[in-house]
Amino acid sequence: MLAQLAMPTRKQIRRALLRTLLKNSGVVKEFGTGQEVVDQLADEFHLNEAQRTAALETVYRKENRVKKALLWHRLLFRAADALASEGSVSRPTQTLQLTGKREWMLTEKGFDEALRISDIPLAAKDSLPTKSYEVQKIVKKLLETPRPEHYQPFDTTRKLIRTVRETVLRVRGFRQAVIEVYDFRCAVCGLKINAPDSLCWEVEAAHIVPRGSFGRDDVFNRIALCRFHHWAFDVGWFALLDNYKIRTSSKLSSLPADFGRLGKYELVRALTKRGTGIQLPGSRQAYPHVNSIRWHRQFVFYQ
């Protein structure tokens, strides 16, 4: 049947699946429910109608019933299953425990291979928001860390971190956790945009106490900001009050009228309206810590 329909080989599907996972931020739904991905992959192989709709019949003797499954789904499943057996993706049952979604998810090993076959340098890993099973584990742990009562936003022990690999994973996990809790938007202006290939988000996980001052990497000392508001925050054009409202610098009054404008939008002046606050994460647990924002107000903000 396979020969007659000239379906792609498992090796070809395996490669296409890795590339698709990379394009979809590291995850694809189970094939039974993820029709979009199933079609996307079928398009990639230019499958015709007969190839897309060919069904396999399995007769369950005991129950005396026939179960029909799409051949294309089955081939995708087998390729994904083989990737899981070699440790390149996590199975939907494993991912479910981590993220609550039934998805195939790249592991670090699969991520490396997906980059290789897509001709993307491995160094790009740090800036890609691709989910990997290992990084998601770190994200989950971070988001479940109880909010500290006596928070110290500095981490002077950072240089003692054990291995390079561990550090790289932590850095990616921390960044991912921050931009995820802010729904990939700038907390100040709400800008949300990714690259046309969906591989990376514009938003950055800005430190409140900067790294150069030994600011911690966790969610309590970070906030998701677009590039412009990240810069404006770092140079002290605005700061946050303890109730997360925004305060702008008094220096704004002497800023030339044509500075800081994007068409009609005033990048900093728009924030001077009383009561303007940032868009906070859905869970209070992930709000920036007041100890961090007080430090920023005192040492970075230009009153």
* Residue 232 C-beta: closest distance to Zn ion, Å: 8
Residues near 67 by Cβ (< 8 Å), separated by ≥ 6? 57, 58, 59, 60
Least Å from the CB of residue 265 to Zn ion: 10
Helix residue ranges per DSSP H, 45-199: 49-53, 71-85, 92-99, 108-117, 133-144, 164-181
Among the residue ranges 44-52, 106-114, 179-187, 249-257, the one whose residues contact Zn ion (CB under 5 A): 179-187
User: Closer CB to Zn ion, residue 185 or residue 297?
Assistant: 185
Q: What does the angle CA 120 – CA 23 – CA 117 come to, to the nearest 5 degrees?
A: 35
* Part in contact with Zn ion (CB under 5 A); list of ranges 178-186, 193-201, 209-217, 245-253: 178-186
Rounded Cα gap, residues 229 and 278, in angstroms = 11
181 counts as binding Zn ion under rule CB under 5 A: no
206 contributes a contact to Zn ion by CB under 5 A: no
Rounded Cα distance, 31 and 76, in Å: 7
Contact set for Zn ion, span 99-128 (CB under 5 A)? none
Stretch of 21-29, 101-109, 143-151, 187-195 contacting Zn ion, by CB under 5 A = 187-195
Is 186 a binder of Zn ion (CB under 5 A)? Answer: yes
268 binds Zn ion (CB under 5 A): no
The size of the interface with Zn ion (CB under 5 A), counted in residues, is: 6
Residues in a beta bridge with 65: 60
> Measured from the CB of residue 230, what is the shortest distance to Zn ion in angstroms?
8
Length of the chain measured in residues: 303
Residue 240 in contact with Zn ion, rule: CB under 5 A: no
Give the residue, chosen from 17, 169, 189, 208, that forms a contact with Zn ion under the rule CB under 5 A: 189
CB atoms within 10 A of CB 189: 18
Give the span between the Cα atoms of 271 and 281, in whole angstroms.
Answer: 19
- Find tokens 């049952």 and name the residue: 93
Which range of residues in 41-49, 120-128, 180-188, 295-303 is near Zn ion by CB under 5 A? 180-188
Cα-based angle 48, 50, 54 (whole degrees, multiple of 5) = 130
In the complex, least distance from residue 229 CB atom to Zn ion, rounded to whole angstroms: 4
Q: Closest distance between Zn ion and the C-beta of residue 192, in Å?
A: 10
Q: Does 267 bind Zn ion (CB under 5 A)?
A: no
Q: Can residue 271 be called a binding residue for Zn ion (CB under 5 A)?
A: no
- Cα 110 to Cα 164: distance, rounded to the nearest angstrom: 19
Q: Is 188 in the site for Zn ion (CB under 5 A)?
A: yes
Cβ pair 187, 223 in contact under 8 A: yes
**Cβ partners under 8 Å of residue 81, min gap 6:** 91
In the range 218-237, which residues lie near Zn ion by CB under 5 A?
A: 226, 229
Q: How far is the CB of 191 from Zn ion (least distance, A)?
A: 5
Minimum distance from residue 103 beta carbon to Zn ion (Å): 30
- State CA 221 to chain mean position distance: 18
User: Which residue's entry shows tokens 């609550």?
Assistant: 100
Q: Which is nearer to Zn ion, 22 or 188 (CB)?
A: 188
Q: Per CB under 5 A, does 296 bind Zn ion?
A: no
Binding site for Zn ion (CB under 5 A): 186, 188-189, 191, 226, 229
